[in-house]
Amino acid sequence: MADVNITLDGKKLTAPAGTLLIEACKNAGIEVPSFCYYPGFSLQGACRMCLVKIEKVPKLQTACTTVIGEGMIVTTDSPEIHQARKSMVELLLGNHPLDCPVCDAGGECELQDMTFAYGAAESKYIDIKNHREEQQWSPVVYFDRPRCILCYRCVRVCGEGMDVWALGIQNRGVASVIAPNKEDHLECEECGMCIDICPVGALTSGAYRYKTRPWEMKHIDTTCTHCGDGCRTTLGVRRADTGIEIVRGDNRDKSGINGDFLCIKGRYAFDFVDNEQRIKQPLIRKDGRLTPSSWEEAFELIGRRFAEICGREGGRAIGVIGSSKTSNEENYLLQKFARVVLGTNNIDHHRTGDFPAFARALAGKLDATASMRDVFKAPAMLVIGNDPTNQHPLLAWQIRNNVRLHRSRLYVINSQPIKLRRQATAFAHIPAGSEAKLVALLAGDDSVLDVLVSENTPREALLSLRDRLRGEQNLVIIFGAELRGEEMARLVKVGSAVSGAKFVCLGDYANSRGAADMGLYPDLLPGYLPVTQGKTFREEWGGLPDAPGLTIPQMVDAAKAGQLKALYVVGANPVARFNIDPFAFAKSFVVMQDMFLTETALIADVVLPGANAYEKSGTFTNTCGDLQLLRKAGEVTGTKPDFEIIVRIAERMGFDVRKLVPFGGGMWADMGQSRGAQSGEADRHSVWLEAHGLETKLSPFDPMAILDEIQRLVPGYHVSRRTLLSGTDQHTRIGGPGILHNPELIVPANDDLFTSGTLGRYSRALNSVLENQRRKPVETEVAAD
Amino acid sequence: MKLSDQFEQRFHAMINHYPTKRSVLVPSLLYAQDELGYLTDELIAEMAQRLDLTDLEIRNVISYYSMLTTQPRGKFNVQVCTNIACMLRGGEEILDHCKRKLGIGHKGTTRDGLFSLEEVECIGACSWAPAAQVNYDFHENLTPERMNEVLQDYRRKVHQQENC
């Protein structure tokens, strides 16, 4: 758009036509205070804090609702404006209790800051403040009515942002009050966005309220460990008797791929970490019972048994099951451990998306995958299968807000009337299981129409959908586990006919994609290289087994036949997930590392207390392929990161850990020549080193040493380390030739908003919401605006 | 839910007048309230469904406007203005008189269900203060005696209807 000339506080500036005055001020480095204005949501003009003087306009104007005009001359601060804002604060404080010393928001409250800035500590009002008791609206949302300043942010984020519309305003004038949708409680997605966006302490969270003060915490931004979307969550931590305690999860750092968004799991479901059932000591089965022991004893036993079995029967006799919730470095290390130390390809994990087939379908295509950020910007989106609102909340947010803010066109094809249909330009309701037929239709095969047509979706609707899709450009195509193998390949072929098309293949867990990328497959090396190939890996590692190994079901069969002498389970619960007969492994030596005594512990001979993603550093790859950092936040004494455990087991087997983890490299890589002009500036120097992958890795327990190897060897992971370390997501390319698997090995997690596999079972926040829901009759979803 | 033909006629005529559907909400609620006496839960659900809104949004609007109510009211809603012009010319006396006469307070309803009483803000009849509004009728230049007659007229109207 054409630029407009304006003068702000005497500075002559230009800004694109259509810019809001408040945004123009912000871009010019001038802060105009506001409570109700929030970028990305509808304008409210409720708080009147952003009053500015515009020349030739008699009264002060709200900068948040004024669009800049040619020649506009604006003053943003003057005694008159200062007095106006001070009066606004005084009015807001008319009923606002001054309970800042006990208020959760005290210390990070926008009203507190404004009162401080405008010195509105004195008040002309002598009436008694209107007090109302606090209300609990849901297990996680509390409302303190007198603290509310009626900025409507919560109402807008809930309605416009989340499409939930659970909050509203009742009454008017001085009696106005924020109201939940069900008289005295909320029925919503419990995302907690209203709490995060509240400028004061009116909305507080059940998980955090009255626990601590903001300044007592250290804030660490890391990647959420729940679904496959990879939101950035900021964890507030403080010292505790047991190590470092995580007190709060929120979204104060808005630079992540999730922007303003975080769902209930990212915000509250960190609380599995201090569940009292957490294992904090290694357990060894003695006389049939798991008995507490020392790490030393456990490592000695595992090292000896693994070495014995390897020596006697070879690696074939050991199976390894990895996790979709451990870091890329741990996954890579685990498969390297299996292939190099144990000498076996018997490694698998719980598959939730057909990534090897995805890699195969995309082989040779560049820029064919969409990042989470791309989804928010795409001019058109096609969603086949899955229910993003429940299973991929961030993806749903991106889609919804892309439609709302960018008028993107959304096409939804599903066997269920999923909530995203409300944003859809076209929604095709197809019979369950007919997704493959639909792909055929898109490919031009009209013979499948009879199967797809239903009462809800007539023939013409399907044909017009196809025509519209063919007319799109830069379409992002998102599909769930309904499409696998050849069917997925077909979709990719059809979709690629649309110019600029990009794809997203959905996997369910936080690092499902990472586990697949890192080669937790019996027949695939990292980067989807068949084990029979992989020259670079052979050279690097000095040889590896050629024959594909066993899948999880095959491991069970082998164990039953007495051929699998040992099983090593890292952060997975195969017994419950695959409904395995626990007696199948009666004769095998089973080692498991996890946080809790899951069903798999029933068959374990040694249980090692592992750490979760919030207690380690490393990287995660989300379902779109965005690589992000994990930063260590919490700490529970007695546990160890899976990375360290794997290395120690290898060491106890007598393996030279230098061949497993290439650590120590940074020491000789930097002989001082890299300092140059930076000489003497220790901090900048170390930043530079890190950015170039040269930071010192002094121990074999440093995941960054493995990340070096990953970036060197895994196709698609050669991204900027410097940008990654600065906390920015980096889109990886899905590489390698890929392979077609038996589609039945893919078992979708089917978690919804309030469940998260094993982690969810041990989360108080999620369980309290589920319990609360069970007490109420099922209601249908709310209508859209 | 079943609403009168007249309501439906009006509703369908209005729905195309505005760029967004929700714009017809307030007039529709007024017409419905005239028919039903007050805005029932059933009606709120019906309007939410027709206009693609949530029940909460409909309730937000209802609670904003004092002339919309979700509580049953008497057949005649006596609204006495006590804003400044009326107050200066005896509006509060009129209100007190009504309270005594009807034996009810602000927002009360007589036991026979005939009258409700409400103290309201300006009804735009300042030139003829003090004024009161009974349903859609204005009564101006009131005195306690005049107010008695007004109330009596409404009683009589009902009796007449009952008798014929």
Please tell me if residue B46 touches chain A, with a CB cutoff of 8 Å. Answer: no
Quick check: B63 and A170 CB within 8 A? yes
CB atoms within 10 A of CB A63: 26
In a domain, A277, yes or no: no
Chain A residue with Cα closest to B51: A785
- Do A419 and A323 reside in the same domain of the chain? no
CB B118, CB B134: distance < 8 Å: no
Q: Which two tokens stand for residue A177?
A: 């009050």
CB A322, CB A483: distance < 8 Å: no
A410 phi and psi angles, rounded to 5 deg:
-115, 130
Q: Which two tokens stand for residue B99?
A: 């309270």
CA distance B114 to chain A (A): 27
In a domain, A431, yes or no: yes
- Do A297 and A396 reside in the same domain of the chain? no
CA distance A753 to chain B (A): 22
Q: Summarize pLDDT for A343-356 with one digit per residue, the tens.
A: 999 999 999 999 99
Helix (H, G, I), strand (E, B) or coil at A342: helix
In a domain, A571, yes or no: yes
- Do A438 and A390 reside in the same domain of the chain? yes
Chain B residue with Cα closest to A155: B57
Please tell me if residue B135 touches chain A, with a CB cutoff of 8 Å. Answer: no
Of the residues B49, B56, B58, B61, the best mutation for testing chain A's interface (the one with the most A CB atoms within 10 Å of its CB) is: B56
Please tell me if residue A181 touches chain B, with a CB cutoff of 8 Å. Answer: yes
In a domain, A532, yes or no: yes
Per the structure, the count of domains in chain A is 4
Strand order in the sheet with A730-731: A618-621, A626-630, A730-731
Task: Tell me which residue range forms the domain holding A170.
Answer: 110-205
- Do A116 and A154 reside in the same domain of the chain? yes
Residue A455: its pLDDT value, please?
Answer: 85
| Binding-face residues of A in 746-785 toward B, CB within 8 A | 782-785
Residue B52: list chain A partners with CB under 8 A: 783-785
In sign, the C-alpha dihedral spanning A366, A370, A373, A376 is positive
CA distance A780 to chain B (A): 12
Under 8 Å CB-to-CB from A511, ≥6 apart: which residues? A228, A323, A324, A325, A326, A327, A328, A331, A613, A620, A621
In a domain, A756, yes or no: no
Helix (H, G, I), strand (E, B) or coil at A313: helix
A391 phi and psi angles, rounded to 5 deg:
-100, -25
Residue A588: its pLDDT value, please?
Answer: 94
- Do A22 and A50 reside in the same domain of the chain? yes
Cα separation, A349 vs A363, whole angstroms: 23
Name which of A526, A288, A708, B32 is nearest A719 in CA terms. Answer: A708
Quick check: A166 and B63 CB within 8 A? no
Name which of A236, A214, A233 is nearest A223 in CA terms. Answer: A233
- Do A166 and A75 reside in the same domain of the chain? no
CB A263, CB A394: distance < 8 Å: yes
- Do A584 and A721 reside in the same domain of the chain? yes
Chain mean position to CA A397: 12
Residue A687: its pLDDT value, please?
Answer: 62
Q: Which residues of A157-183 are buried (b: 16+ CB within 10 A; e: fewer)?
A: bbbbbbbbbbbbbbeeeeebebbbbbe
- Do A363 and A347 reside in the same domain of the chain? no
Residue A679: its pLDDT value, please?
Answer: 46
In a domain, A213, yes or no: no
Please tell me if residue A168 touches chain B, with a CB cutoff of 8 Å. Answer: yes
Strand order in the sheet with A283-286: A289-292, A283-286, A606-609, A589-594, A566-570, A318-321, A347-348
Please tell me if residue B54 touches chain A, with a CB cutoff of 8 Å. Answer: yes
Of B52, B60, B63, the CB nearest to A783: B52
Please tell me if residue B56 touches chain A, with a CB cutoff of 8 Å. Answer: yes
In a domain, A262, yes or no: no
Residue at token pair 């302490």:
A201
Quick check: B60 and A782 CB within 8 A? no
Residue B63: list chain A partners with CB under 8 A: 170-172
Chain mean position to CA A216: 26
Of the residues B25, B46, B50, B57, the best mutation for testing chain A's interface (the one with the most A CB atoms within 10 Å of its CB) is: B57
Of B48, B60, B64, the CB nearest to A783: B48
Please tell me if residue B99 touches chain A, with a CB cutoff of 8 Å. Answer: no
Of the residues B63, B66, B67, the best mutation for testing chain A's interface (the one with the most A CB atoms within 10 Å of its CB) is: B63
Chain A residue with Cα closest to B56: A181
Class in CATH terms, B5-64: mainly alpha
A585 phi and psi angles, rounded to 5 deg:
-100, 20
Of B49, B63, B64, the CB nearest to A783: B49
- Do A468 and A360 reside in the same domain of the chain? yes
Residue A171: list chain B partners with CB under 8 A: 63-64
CA distance B99 to chain A (A): 25
CB A339, CB A326: distance < 8 Å: no
Quick check: A171 and B64 CB within 8 A? yes
- Do A441 and A587 reside in the same domain of the chain? no
- In terms of DSSP H, where are the helices of B15-143? 25-36, 41-51, 55-64, 84-88, 91-102
Give the domain CATH number at A625.
3.40.50.740
- Do A346 and A359 reside in the same domain of the chain? no
- Do A660 and A525 reside in the same domain of the chain? yes
Residue A178: list chain B partners with CB under 8 A: none
Residue at token pair 């103290």:
B119
Give the domain CATH number at A85.
3.10.20.740
A300 phi and psi angles, rounded to 5 deg:
-60, -45
In a domain, A427, yes or no: yes
Q: Strand pairing partners for B139? A: B132
A238 phi and psi angles, rounded to 5 deg:
-150, 165
Name which of A385, A399, A19 is nearest A229 in CA terms. Answer: A399
For chain A, list residues with pLDDT below 70: 1, 665-691, 693-695, 776-785
CB A187, CB A779: distance < 8 Å: yes
Cα separation, A167 vs A140, whole angstroms: 15
Q: Summarize pLDDT for B74-124 with one digit per residue, the tens.
A: 999 999 999 999 999 999 999 999 999 999 999 999 999 999 999 999 999
Chain A residue with Cα closest to B47: A783
Residue A543: its pLDDT value, please?
Answer: 83
Q: Do B5-64 and B76-163 have matching folds?
A: no
| Binding-face residues of A in 108-167 toward B, CB within 8 A | 165-167
Topology given in CATH for the domain delimited by B76-163 = Glutaredoxin (3.40.30)
Of B48, B52, B59, the CB nearest to A170: B59
Helix (H, G, I), strand (E, B) or coil at A436: helix
Residue A670: its pLDDT value, please?
Answer: 42
Give residue limits of the domains in chain B: 5-64, 76-163
Of the residues A158, A164, A172, the best mutation for testing chain B's interface (the one with the most B CB atoms within 10 Å of its CB) is: A172
Cα separation, A420 vs A304, whole angstroms: 54
Of B22, B54, B60, the CB nearest to A782: B54
| Binding-face residues of A in 492-551 toward B, CB within 8 A | none
